[in-house]
Structure formats: C-alpha cells, structure tokens
Amino acid sequence: MSQSNKKEFNAFLQRILADGQVDHDEKIAMQEWLCSMEKLPNLADCLALKRAFVSSVCRALRKNRLKITPEEAVRCVDEVVDVLLSSIPAQWDTKRDAEQADSVFFCGGNTANEQKAWSRVGLELDQATRSVKVAAFNLTYNPLRNALSRLADHEVTIQIFADDAACFAEGSDIESLSGKKNITIKLDGPETMMHHKFIIIDDKVAINGSMNFTRAGFARNFENFMIIHNPGVVAQFVEEFDCLWAGGNSL
C-alpha cells in the first residue's frame, strides 16, 4: 500500500477518533475509498493499517489528546478492522494459503535432531537483511546467540524481548548481548511472565513453537516449531511483538 494511500486512510482515522464513533456514512466512505484503490488491500495490508491505528490511539491516550475513553477507542479499532477485512476479495485467503510453504519441525532426543532443528532455524536467520525480533523467556543457546551477534555485526537490527527474571539467570546470554551495537533488549515487568518463544525475520518470516531457546529446547526435550511465511500470520506476530516492545522496560 502506497504512502499516499496510508495518508488518506489516516485522515479517515482522525475523523473517527474525533467523536469516538464509526457511523454509517464513515463506513460507506471508507469502503468506497478502499474499492477505488488501484490495488485492493490484502490481509497483510489490513493488519499493517490496524497496527498503525492502534499505535496512534495508544500514543494519543498516553498524552491525553483524545476526548474519548479507552473503551470507545477500542471499539473504534474493532469497527475499523471490520471495514478493512470486508474489503478483502473472498478468494484472496484461499489463493495465498495455496501459495504458502509453511513447515513444521520436531526436535529433541538426540544430537542429530538438535543439528537438524538448528540448521533450519539458522538457515532462516542467515537470510535476514534488515531486522530480527526475538520474543523469549530466556536465551541460553550459544548457536542462536552467535547468529544474532553475527547479524548485528552486519548491520541487521536485533530486538530481544525477554523475561525480566530469567534473563539474569546463570547461563543466560541476554545480558551479554545487551551492550552490542545494533542489539536492543527490553524486559517485561515483575507482575508478568514473558513466555513467548518466537522469532521474526525481516517482518516476513516467523519461527514459533514450544521450545525455549536453550540447548534443552533444541536437543533434550521433545519439542516442535513452525517456520511461517504466510504474510497475514507473520503480520500478527509482528503486531504482538510491537505491542510488547512498546510496553517493555529497557535493560
């Protein structure tokens, strides 16, 4: 979606937030605008617009710039997303699903399975050119630490969101990575436990599964993970990570 399209969409959002309602005329106007675009938005476009809208609402609420309540703002977001999703051609999801090559992997039990699992994860990481986002309870697996460090040396931006208690445990690589150029680390708060286990590469590929990023996760435990290329699904992982990051505490 072009920058001009995004600016036009933002104008719709500002009008909606002015009174905290998405009335019938605004829905019709938004649908007509979406249909008039040279290229209809796909699911990834819609989720990207939703993220931008949610971010702008959160910023406005924090700065007390909205005359509406947080509940009204949430309702606005939901209604706007409904309009966005209604604009997607019905055949789009089916076509995209048929084109995807998402893969499932199983690991654990022996060194051979560990090597097989890491080779797949490492292969995806080696293709990163812009960014890698890691959401993890902890990180103690040396091959992953080394891969992230190497990518940072090649000007790839690394963001790691981890659990505030686990990251200081013995053997953790989180703290050792924190002072490195191009690597930024944030932590959750003491009232929560960060238990996600996913990696996002260039906002285009997501790796998600049951295993912690430890040697036990890759070698000893019986675990599973998926490598996901579906843009709509990856966009949801990006949205979750960005939400965590916005509320995180810098290490």
Helix ranges (H only) for 67-205 are 70-86, 91-99, 111-126, 142-153, 174-177
Residue 171's contacts (CB-CB under 8 Å, 6 or more residues apart) are: 140
Which band of pLDDT confidence, cut at 50, 70 and 90, is reported for residue 146?
A: very high
The whole-number average pLDDT for the span 36-55 is: 65
Sheet-wide strand order for 157-162: 103-107, 223-228, 205-209, 197-201, 131-136, 157-162, 183-187, 249-250
pLDDT at 226 over 50: yes
Q: Are 165 and 249 in contact (CB under 8 A)?
A: no
Which H or E run contains 16? helix 3-19
Statement: residue 172 has pLDDT above 60: yes
Instruction: Pick the more confident residue, 69 or 216.
Output: 216
Tokens at 76, concatenated: 């606005």
For residue 90, what pLDDT is reported? 46
Residue 246, classed as helix, strand or coil, is helix
* 84: pLDDT strictly greater than 60: yes
Query: What pLDDT is stored for residue 26 in this prediction?
Result: 74
User: Cα torsion at 88, 90, 91, 95 (round to 10°)?
Assistant: 60
DSSP for residue 233: H
Residue 194, pLDDT score: 86
pTM: 0.61
Percent of the chain with pLDDT over 90: 29
